Amino acid sequence: MSTSLAALDALPSIVDFYAHYWNKRPFLVRNAIDQTVMDGLITPDELAGLSMEETASARMVTGKDWACQFGPFTEEDFNTAGKPPWSLLVQNVEQFHPDTAKLLRAFNFAPRWLMDDIMVSFSTRGGTIGGHIDSYHVFLVQGQGSRRWTIGREPIIDEAYIDGLDLKILKHPIDGNIVEVTSGDILYIPPHFAHEGITLDDSLTFSVGFLGPKLSELYGAYGQHLADHDALDQRYVGEGLSADSSGFTLSIDAVEALR
């Protein structure tokens, strides 16, 4: 059954979020983040500087074949990155930039105990990391600039990828909703919904990810045995969560589901 992208006037209430969107339906909210928070977010120059640090996890994606290079980078890497388009992605930015961490306050309606990190990507005009799916929930907050997103109408179960690439890029075009986002807009993408963003002008995107553990991780040593045999590699995606699991609250139902 096809699912259209919901256009909301504001971020959903806790009850509505779990009833209608979590694991169910993508949504878009315009101007959802307070301007004072937006003004304090990491800048492109600061992001480039962070990508040069040994403690940061960074990668650069270039060219039509989505070639991927891993950091730490140097100034020379940026000088020789070649003609645009290219994209720089840095993980765990909230750990290095306190003002960017303030962005998380907007997502207390979501299960903060599943929050993984804030990944920040800077892309030049035309930059993209291709059509892909994630095994986790992601809120895409647009910083400076603008991007055009295509979001699939339903989750993909049996995905097919282009062979011979550094990244897992979907083989088939995404049949979905197309939307352009600007500063302060938020897109919510549930797990396994295909999506692709193309930068319309130099821009920053802040990806707030909510990642459940794999079953193998939950089972410890037994899980390692299962993982060695390629079993139970599916992630927990928070199915059936309710309003009781918002913020930092781990509800009894969530504990029972994990069991």
pLDDT digits (tens, 9 = 90+) for 160-189: 999 998 899 999 999 999 999 999 999 999
Query: How do the domains of the chain map onto residue ranges?
Result: 6-210, 215-258
Q: Give the phi and the psi of residue 114 in degrees, each rounded to 5.
A: -100, 0
**HSE (CB half, 13 Å, CA atoms) of 244?**
8
pLDDT value for 115: 95
Tens digits of residue pLDDT in 52-99: 999 999 999 987 788 899 999 999 998 887 677 999 999 999 999 999
Please answer whether residues 92 and 106 qualify as being in contact, where contact means their C-beta atoms are separated by less than 8 angstroms: no
- Lowest-confidence range among 86-100, 135-149, 243-257? 243-257
Task: Please state which CATH class domain 6-210 belongs to.
Answer: mainly beta
Average per-residue pLDDT in the chain? Answer: 91
**pTM for the full predicted model:** 0.85
> Which residue from 150, 100, 152, 98 is spatially nearest to 121, judged by alpha carbons?
100
Reported confidence tier of residue 107, pLDDT bands at 50, 70, 90? very high
Question: In whole angstroms, how large is the CA radius of gyration of the chain?
Answer: 18
Only one residue has tokens 């897109």, namely 187
